[in-house]
Structure 1
């Protein structure tokens, strides 16, 4: 017999002190008033630094550019670029002007970028010089292409940096404190195969950071620290990490190069206090230190998420760095973080706790439900449902898709897990078929559809299998049409033109797919088969 007390629900601490909340659109203004000459953003690759005064100037200058180009509140602009300091005056300026920023994944193909540009109805495209070829190819797919401006470039060239730098007299524009103002449209892939534009409000973006500021789990963070960000700007995780530093008026070192040698150099050169590092990169940094026979640099904290970290790597990293570790778990639809496993719960003497993704942050509630929507008991695995003040407005122009996942204010994550009575969340197999490889979310149907465009492919199924380095790797199993022959490399080359490189399978196999009586592919059986199959694969078949 169960009671209401045994139902699997966990609540974060109350969301209080909202009158103290820093609105994200005000971050540059606040920093410019209090610490005008303090470095806000340090763009390591170009040796550029924006002080808080300059960040405020650039943000106001960007508002002026938006108005000069005839953009109105509610319009969209797109940003296709690697990590850069300029992403943040673009964001802050867009918020102040009431414009919605659409960050594009720079790893995607031209056809994928074209869909998002068309779907979002973007009226201006900002692009890195090195990504201009992809951007122009994407624009060629559109009937009405938006104007394109380079983000950065060589000195003396006309680009966004030069435009903002010389606009020293732009008027100061204050952001509206409208919690329902849409500020971001972040595309996330779905099991339907088409990316969905997640609508994030100014309120959600601001509350997400405030929830951390009022939590005891972050009480050791102080103003003026230095943090390092190598996570992509277009990721909610990468954006969140930079904002965590900026709302505390700290200095954030930004890099687009997460290679271990560069990360170690930057940590030492800028005396970095804290960094968010995905487990794949942590593994590479640990190996680099061992190969060099060097001690780990001094850090106050390493924070990770986006993919699971193996118990072996976590233990090795904690012993090597001797600093605090914290783990985030969240998703774009929740404006980032949902749960947090704080440093004081990272104890090697409690290995079971290290398998948890933590407890809900302030204002969040979690339940574990069965397929009928009934709340299960503690310890029972089911689907994770989350109620949050940071829940998205919905999916852009997809009310039906929104209604499928948001029910009475609760978000059905599609992820599997269970709760302990202490409120700690543990993940199990995902309810959805999403693959997480190197911190990137990959949905099988997107990859399958790319293979099915090839004339030799009859059927395709994609699954993720565990991998020590990447968390999971993508494996494609294909059935070929009778009489057709094609090599693994020919197929790999073909799909690279259709989907992002990171979505391309590490392994391609030719085999008969397991199906139900109705003909549906049985992914669970296929995944088990891949786990039992030797890694060598045929390069062609017919």
Structure 2
């Protein structure tokens, strides 16, 4: 199977069915299929061949979904770029995987122009409404002038996409996922009862994010419909649910909190909504309780995983959020291994630990990534004998439920986004007043965790927390920047090997909590 299988199936069994809604545009599968095959032909016409990379930097749109499909139809590889990253971060990713074409919307046309200026030979395509800027190809003109082409029919082992994550060394890594990886994950979700054929799925989470992308592939396979909004706002989600009778949506816990706490929520008709899938970070008891009260007819399902797993490893179904499951504390778990996955908890020697013992969560299945783009050593450290070592610390109970309690990797999850401490530390260290720094995650009611920095300034130098936070924003994405800074004259605590003891720095913030992550 490949990522275009769902489109081919829809064209055969439901060509007149509603495929996608985006603003005033409504298209059936026959129309989408024609546009995808023409766009694929245009991509080939711009010089992209089998396995070549095609990047996109854009807010959510129906064109984004078309490009996901057209890249596969053309035999090329999709590279969704992070809309929250800074220009240098996206330039680094572009130079890393070397795409020849970049699709941009209105909001990122200037960034695209800067990337094209910095990277010789990069071709830009404007994928938005309105006038096309000078010197950029028009998405709609390309479709209009291109003849449909046959599906390239890539194999399940062929590379389908490169999805960038943060890096423990300060540089982002490109996760290589095959057609088979993505389809196995999509089928696993369908087998668990998610995204039935009657689903009207709302793309509210960013479409560059694989959690939303994975849901898209499941909806394609099942024959459901897609509703797209440009980006998350509580009003935008509520309005789309009301107008389009949305049944399913994926949200991170921070989005759920903003949605259910919105003062105008009760004024919307949300009766069509049946399922909310949440993930990227745990949900607090308080937010879950408020969400269940505000949306009494909605079932909640937690999905735990990571990009390297295409992305789902475990699922916590609705029944564990209520009744006996909740009474036993199951709602605090990340769930049990999904169909097609095996999960184990291992110690530092990669030996399986006993039930209830904390170790590193490892996952095996056909959803495990091909590897990191051009980083064979990092791939070998992460995937051992077919098992993806997640970097999350957790334990498994006797019934197979996995509980995430800590992170082995030096990573923070804030508002559903991964932040690697090394990236932020590398930015802070470039400030002329900084002698030493450490970045940790501390609890946040709104974001789950927030980025916090501890900084030692150089002798004779000075810097304020606000100054350091603003400095970081010039180098890395805003969500990665510290939201609080402690400036100290005392040296940071070090291990015998000279490594900063971050656990000691974190202790005051996490004392008296059940787990060391939120």
- The TM-score bracket by the shorter chain reads over 0.9
Q: Say whether 1:137 aligns with 2:111.
A: no
Within the candidate set 132, 137, 141, 1:163 is matched to 141
Q: Is the 8 A contact 1:25 1:175 kept in 2?
A: no
Within the candidate set 82, 92, 96, 2:69 is matched to 92
CA distance in structure 2 between the partners assigned to 1:408 and 1:292 by the alignment: 49
Q: Which runs of 5+ in 2 are unaligned?
A: 512-518
CA distance in structure 1 between the partners assigned to 2:149 and 2:169 by the alignment: 44
Equivalent position SS for 2:350: coil
In structure 2, what is the equivalent of residue 249 of structure 1? 223
For residue 482 of structure 1, report the CA deviation from its aligned partner: 1.2
5 Å-filtered alignment, 1:291-310, equals: 294=267, 297-298=270-271, 299-310=273-284
Q: Say whether 1:383 aligns with 2:357.
A: no
Within the candidate set 381, 401, 413, 1:404 is matched to 381
CA distance in structure 1 between the partners assigned to 2:129 and 2:269 by the alignment: 35
For residue 179 of structure 1, report the CA deviation from its aligned partner: 1.1
For residue 266 of structure 1, report the CA deviation from its aligned partner: 1.1
Q: Is the 8 A contact 1:387 1:410 kept in 2?
A: yes
For residue 49 of structure 1, report the CA deviation from its aligned partner: 2.6
CA distance in structure 1 between the partners assigned to 2:265 and 2:189 by the alignment: 36
CA distance in structure 1 between the partners assigned to 2:127 and 2:436 by the alignment: 42
In structure 2, what is the equivalent of residue 367 of structure 1? 344
CA distance in structure 1 between the partners assigned to 2:230 and 2:125 by the alignment: 20
Q: Is the 8 A contact 1:152 1:159 kept in 2?
A: no
Q: Is the 8 A contact 2:75 2:154 kept in 1?
A: no
5 Å-filtered alignment, 1:171-210, equals: 171-176=148-153, 178-210=155-187
CA distance in structure 1 between the partners assigned to 2:80 and 2:179 by the alignment: 16
Q: Is the 8 A contact 1:26 1:174 kept in 2?
A: no
Which deviations, in whole Å up to 9, do the C-alpha atoms of 1:217-242 show, x marking residues without a partner? 44xx5323311121111111011122
Q: Is the 8 A contact 2:126 2:132 kept in 1?
A: no
Which deviations, in whole Å up to 9, do the C-alpha atoms of 1:16-46 show, x marking residues without a partner? xxxxxx64212223223322232212223xx
In structure 2, what is the equivalent of residue 336 of structure 1? 311
In structure 2, what is the equivalent of residue 287 of structure 1? 261
TM-score (norm 2): 0.93
For residue 286 of structure 1, report the CA deviation from its aligned partner: 1.4
Q: What is the alpha-carbon root mean square deviation over aligned residues? A: 2.0
Q: Is the 8 A contact 2:59 2:231 kept in 1?
A: no
Q: Say whether 1:103 aligns with 2:80.
A: yes
Which deviations, in whole Å up to 9, do the C-alpha atoms of 1:252-278 show, x marking residues without a partner? 111233111111111111111111111
For residue 486 of structure 1, report the CA deviation from its aligned partner: 2.2
CA distance in structure 1 between the partners assigned to 2:118 and 2:70 by the alignment: 29
For residue 520 of structure 1, report the CA deviation from its aligned partner: 2.0
CA distance in structure 2 between the partners assigned to 1:156 and 1:467 by the alignment: 42
Q: Which runs of 5+ in 1 are unaligned?
A: 1-21, 533-542
Q: 1:23 to 1:99 in 2, by over 3 A?
A: closer
For residue 345 of structure 1, report the CA deviation from its aligned partner: 2.1
Which deviations, in whole Å up to 9, do the C-alpha atoms of 1:29-68 show, x marking residues without a partner? 3223322232212223xx3233211211111011111221
In structure 1, what is the equivalent of residue 516 of structure 2? none
Q: 1:498 to 1:147 in 2, by over 3 A?
A: same
Q: Is the 8 A contact 1:211 1:361 kept in 2?
A: yes
Identify which of structures 1 and 2 has the higher relative contact order when contacts are C-alpha pairs closer than 8 Å and 6+ apart: 1
CA distance in structure 2 between the partners assigned to 1:284 and 1:78 by the alignment: 31
For residue 518 of structure 1, report the CA deviation from its aligned partner: 4.2
For residue 319 of structure 1, report the CA deviation from its aligned partner: 2.5
For residue 126 of structure 1, report the CA deviation from its aligned partner: 1.0
Q: 1:332 to 1:297 in 2, by over 3 A?
A: same
Q: Say whether 1:154 aligns with 2:121.
A: no
CA distance in structure 1 between the partners assigned to 2:508 and 2:270 by the alignment: 43
Q: Say whether 1:277 aligns with 2:257.
A: no
Q: Say whether 1:453 aligns with 2:437.
A: no
Q: Say whether 1:357 aligns with 2:330.
A: no
For residue 177 of structure 1, report the CA deviation from its aligned partner: 5.1
5 Å-filtered alignment, 1:231-270, equals: 231-270=205-244
Which deviations, in whole Å up to 9, do the C-alpha atoms of 1:184-215 show, x marking residues without a partner? 01111121111111111011111111122233
For residue 163 of structure 1, report the CA deviation from its aligned partner: 2.4
Q: Is the 8 A contact 1:110 1:135 kept in 2?
A: no
CA distance in structure 2 between the partners assigned to 1:468 and 1:35 by the alignment: 45
Within the candidate set 521, 526, 541, 2:505 is matched to 526
Q: 1:468 to 1:166 in 2, by over 3 A?
A: same
Q: Is the 8 A contact 1:334 1:392 kept in 2?
A: yes
In structure 1, what is the equivalent of residue 515 of structure 2? none
TM-score (norm 1): 0.89
CA distance in structure 2 between the partners assigned to 1:89 and 1:179 by the alignment: 20
Q: Is the 8 A contact 1:81 1:131 kept in 2?
A: yes
CA distance in structure 2 between the partners assigned to 1:295 and 1:245 by the alignment: 25
In structure 1, what is the equivalent of residue 294 of structure 2? 320
Q: 1:369 to 1:334 in 2, by over 3 A?
A: same
In structure 1, what is the equivalent of residue 104 of structure 2? 127
CA distance in structure 2 between the partners assigned to 1:287 and 1:106 by the alignment: 26
